[in-house]
A and B are shown apart, each in its own frame.
Chain A
Amino acid sequence: MGGSFVLHRIGVATATIVAIVMLNFVLFRLMPGSPERVILHGTPRVTPELLEATRERWGLNDPLFPDQFVKYVSATVQGDLGYSFVARGQTVTAVLGQRIWPTILLFGLGEIVAIAVGLALGAYSGWRRGGVIDYIGNGVSLLLYATPYFLLGMVLLLLFGVALRWFPTFGMTTAGASYDGPLDALADLGLHLALPLATVALGLIGQYAIVMRSSIVETLSEDYITTARAMGLRDGRILRAHAVPNALLPTVSLVAINLGYVVAGAITVEVVFNWPGLGTLTVEALQARDYPVLQGVFLLLSISVVLANLLADLVYGLLDPRVRT
């Protein structure tokens, strides 16, 4: 891979992250009401002296630029995102740290399942274009695409959690349960994971299948497929060795671009199932107007998405020499 291509991509990603950090600063300054009142929120009898002392203590008397901005940037770079308004005494970084793992577990697994099933479904229906699977698969994919994640979650919860009672519907583990061993605990986690995971995967499968299908259809009209057919290769081999690898390319970038939307879905699915991840944290922070936590979530999610996109760009460059410009 060309060095300049890699450097350029990394440069763009870095610039984007810098812009995100700056936007975060601006957002905080946009908020109405002076910051010292926010800090002193709930403190009885605020005297002018106390107000002044607070302003001095938090550097609010310094000019916005460069003093406050530089302070903010250097704190952010060191991972200091301030304190949560709600979880008193806890740093935003600590709060985010507690809630990130359930989200990674849920969405990491969800993505894997969706990529595997979605791409297979898309490849098959594109291959057998006009067939029964294609017809049904396309309709279902479009419907799933039109369904908000949380609605899907509510339906699954009603069907499999309440009507059939197959799965628990609340949280990550059974409250107050004592386990006989690690396997027992894992089984409990798995049961709790089933419905939210199914929701995430189903929500994504539609999109991946649609893109993979059109990508396969496009690839099949390429000359090298005709050549492969002319060489007398068997269908299965043409699909696996020639069509799928080439059709995968556009899907790689789609998966990355999609991450931004997945994040939105993540937030709502977690709310439906009370999954204790970043999504429920976001909604709690939203309801309590816990701005530092909200900003931390924005910073964390945006930077993750940018990095994932960078990774996808580099992988794409590795797979397809044509884009290395």
Chain B
Amino acid sequence: MSAGVLTPDQLQRERWRLRLRATRDFAGRYAKRPDGMVGALILLAFGVLAAAPEAFVGPLQTAVSAHGGRLDPPTAGFPLGTDEIGRDILNLTVHGARVSIVIGLLATVITVLIGAVVGIVAGFVGGRLDGALMRVTDFFLVIPTFVLALILTPIIRDIVGSGSTEVFGIRMTLIVIVVVIGITSWSSTARIIRGQTLSLRERAFVDRARVVGAGPGAIMRRHILPNVVNLIVANAVLVFAGAVLTETTLSFVGLGDPFQPSWGQLLEAARSVGAPGLGAWWYFAPPGASIVLVVFAFTLVGAALDDLLNPKRRARR
């Protein structure tokens, strides 16, 4: 291998071999983190529920198909009790997993996409563009973005109207929430990615690419991006936890969709019928515990990934 030039075919194979080894290496190190593994297992369980809720509890119950009593405590027939119109809380919670997790994932994709593009471009291009982009980023970092999301959601909803179009099986009303979370929460991602890009820009391989004649677009795509992917992944996990919490809170103040209840929407419903005051703990405990578990698990996984992938942290140990 050391003698002579590799053929493109060999080069490709060698690349895959190295990539596979790096992945296996990483998996080995991750498996040694008990907190990360606990988090991953919790997420796996909820992921399975979200992937096929019908397989576990049948189709989502509606006011028509509900057949339980009014706010019944848990019984053999309804292991988690019923809500104010007799729907099975277990059924609602499992279906809520799909809604909450899909919204969280979509919002994370938008957030990370905006944040990564802004961060890489600002860090690599530098100069005035960097100054301008960072001013916008700092603006979004300092203002209470939740309140902005609170105002933007009804305004955008009024603009796009309340059609019955669905994207990824999610109703338009909730897609608006996804977009609003995306455009209000990208700023910290952009900051982190920009910092890493700044240090990458000074590396020798970037200079070499430039000398060979690669344009700025190609350098950002082929040389900067692959080197910040680790950081993006670690950050995305934390962004997801935040997105789930934001969606929950937006739904709780009445911006959810009763026809496609997320966990936050269930909590809102529980509060508005006065479940805590009536002692109906079974109405809000299941969706509440689900949110806490999922966010907790994502925080654990995020911390583990951050320790393993973030070059700064790796250096410190």
Contact = CB atoms under 8 A, between A and B. Distances in A.
Contacts of A157: 276-277
Nearest to A145: B299
Interface string A138-156: 0000110111101100110
A162 interface: yes
B241 A263 contact: no
> For chain B, which range describes its interface: under 10, 10 to 19, 20 to 34, or 35 or more residues?
35 or more
Contacts of B159: 30, 32
Interface string A246-286: 00000000000101110110011001100000000011001
A323 B161 CA distance: 49
> For chain A, which range describes its interface: under 10, 10 to 19, 20 to 34, or 35 or more residues?
35 or more
A297 interface: yes
B155 interface: yes
A145 B238 CA distance: 12
Contacts of A297: 147
Contact of B146 (A31, A150, A264): A264
A264 B277 contact: no
B244 to A, nearest CB: 10
A142 B147 contact: no
A294 B277 contact: no
Given A19-B139, A297-B147, A158 B276 contact: yes
Contacts of B222: none
Interface stretch (B102-110, B196-204, B250-258): B250-258
Contact of B276 (A162, A260, A287): A162
B271 A154 contact: yes
B256 to A, nearest CB: 12
Interface in B267-281: 267, 270-271, 275-279, 281
Given A32-B155, A263-B144, 16 more contacts: A20-B143, A31-B158, A32-B159, A146-B291, A146-B293, A150-B271, A157-B277, A169-B276, A259-B144, A260-B144, A268-B253, A286-B254, A298-B147, A298-B148, A298-B151, A309-B142
Interface of B: 135, 138-139, 141-148, 150-152, 154-155, 158-159, 241, 245-246, 248-249, 252-255, 267, 270-271, 275-279, 281, 284, 288, 291-293, 295-296, 299-300
Interface of A: 12, 15-16, 19-20, 23, 27, 30-33, 142-143, 145-148, 150-151, 154-155, 157-158, 161-163, 169, 257, 259-261, 263-264, 267-268, 271-272, 282-283, 286-287, 289, 291, 294-295, 297-298, 301-302, 305-306, 309
